[in-house]
Amino acid sequence: MDVFLRVNLSVIKFLRRKLWEPLMALAKQGFTPHQLALTITLGMGFGMIPFFGGTTLLCTFWALRLRLNVAFTILLGYLMQPFQLALYVPFVELGQTLFPVTPIPFSLEKLSLMFKADWLAALQQVWFANLLGIIAWFMCFIPFGLAVYFSSRKVLHRVLPLQQEA
């Protein structure tokens, strides 16, 4: 039992030294709590958008535009990818519920039948449903983003050293 605890502690120390500390150094890199909170908010929010492949583009564009930590924003976006996959269908269904459109089926059989019958019309329907999902994501992102921003900013003011607040 004692050997297991020593091995476990050494693994934790190794992960802290090789993963956690460099990650925190990347996150802090001379940014204020406001900038870090905005980085966290945008990285997490753009990581969940129902637009596959858009995370990198959105994170990079807005991080450069707002002079935030680009690498950390993209990293957070990538860490949110499981949530993007899990929330894709709910966002699209929410978008189809909010607007008066005929919802597309999300079963593999029905989608494949749609594409076999008329692939161009099916592609247009799926594209439009995805657009409605992005609109639904945006409507959900506003309260989510505000909550993440203000809560992380409050925590970061307590955690970061005082010289970074200038």
> From CA 114, how far away is CA 131, in angstroms rounded?
18
> From CA 4, how far away is CA 105, in angstroms rounded?
51
Confidence of residue 13 (pLDDT cuts 50, 70, 90): confident
DSSP one-letter string for 147-159: HHHHHHHHHHHHH
Residue 148 has pLDDT above 60, yes or no: yes
pLDDT at residue 166, as a whole number:
43
Domain-located, residue 14 = no
Residue 57 has pLDDT above 90, yes or no: yes
pTM for this structure? Answer: 0.76
Domain-located, residue 79 = yes
> From CA 163, how far away is CA 134, in angstroms rounded?
39
CA 103, 109, 111, 112: dihedral to nearest 10 degrees?
Answer: -160
Two tokens, residue 85:
């996959």
DSSP helix/strand/coil, 99? coil
Domain-located, residue 6 = no
> From CA 37, how far away is CA 47, in angstroms rounded?
15
Domain-located, residue 25 = no
Domain-located, residue 47 = yes
Q: What is the pLDDT of residues 31-52, one digit of tens each?
A: 788 888 999 999 999 999 999 8
Domain-located, residue 4 = no
Domain-located, residue 57 = yes
Q: What is the pLDDT of residues 79-102, one digit of tens each?
A: 999 999 999 999 999 999 999 888
Q: Domain of 36? A: 31-165
Domain-located, residue 17 = no
Number of domains in the chain: 1
Query: What share of the chain has pLDDT > 70, as a percent?
Result: 87
Confidence of residue 2 (pLDDT cuts 50, 70, 90): low
